[in-house]
Copies of this chain bind each other. A is one copy, B any other.
Amino acid sequence: MKNKGILTVVSGFSGAGKGTIMKELMKNYSDTYALSISATTRAPRPGEVNGREYFFVSTEEFENMIAQDALIEHAQYVNNYYGTPKDYVFEQLENGKDVILEIEIQGALKVKEKYPDTVLMFVSPPNAAELKSRLEGRGTEDAATIASRLSRAWQEAQGVEKYDYFVINDVLEDCVKKVHAIIQNEHARAFRNQELIDTIKNELKEFSKGE
């Protein structure tokens, strides 16, 4: 029996360390995971490679993907489209890879509605003061910008109650292990093992006839 992969959506406050966690996850368990690659209409930034950071497409191409229902979810920010092409994700899942998708809460909730088997995971620092100090620690933003980012973080947190997991990123290494363990244990959910359960039940029924 081939085990299908699990789709996990990871969200979290900016400054929570999502990116680093996912990089570590891919590094430590590269056979297990595939990172979903988004399509976008925004121009590549220096160093970004098509098919690695993003699939860079034209607005027309993107709107065609929408029309053909070829995206798991999509959204528009600052006049650019961002979305998750179905093909790549479904192919990886069929191959037994656990696919990780990084999007914000509103998109994540839409994915869960469409694909209820999806695991929603929110990554948070242990407390808001820690988030504030991580943002300050970057040393690139003034107090007003930091306040506005914290305000955005608060807005972004609306809906987090509907997530499956709320994972604290305190010590990075521990957090990576926890995220990995959570996704792997999701494979043991009864509803993901319906086929195996039915097989065992049928076998038992046969055996109990005194075969």
A residues bordering B, Cβ < 8 Å? 122, 124, 127-129, 131-132, 143-144, 147-148, 150-154, 157, 160-168, 178, 181-182, 184-185, 188-191, 193-194, 196-197, 199-201, 203-210
Contact = CB atoms under 8 A, between A and B. Distances in A.
A134 to B, nearest CB: 12
A208 B146 CA distance: 8
A208 to B, nearest CB: 3
The 5 A-B pairs at the shortest CB distance, nearest first, are namely: A128-B203, A151-B208, A154-B204, A147-B210, A150-B208
B148 A208 contact: yes
A188 B204 contact: no
A76 B167 CA distance: 42
A29 to B, nearest CB: 15
Query: How many copies of this chain does one complex carry?
Result: 2
11 contacts: A131-B204, A143-B210, A147-B207, A150-B204, A150-B207, A154-B205, A161-B191, A161-B197, A166-B197, A168-B188, A181-B181
From A131, A181, A204, name the one whose CB has the most chain B CB atoms within 10 angstroms.
Answer: A204
A173 B189 CA distance: 20
A204 B135 CA distance: 13
A200 B161 contact: no
A210 to B, nearest CB: 4
Given A154-B205, A168-B188, 5 more contacts: A132-B207, A151-B208, A152-B208, A153-B204, A181-B185
A77 B207 CA distance: 25
A204 B160 contact: no
A164 B205 CA distance: 23
A133 to B, nearest CB: 11
A188 B182 contact: yes
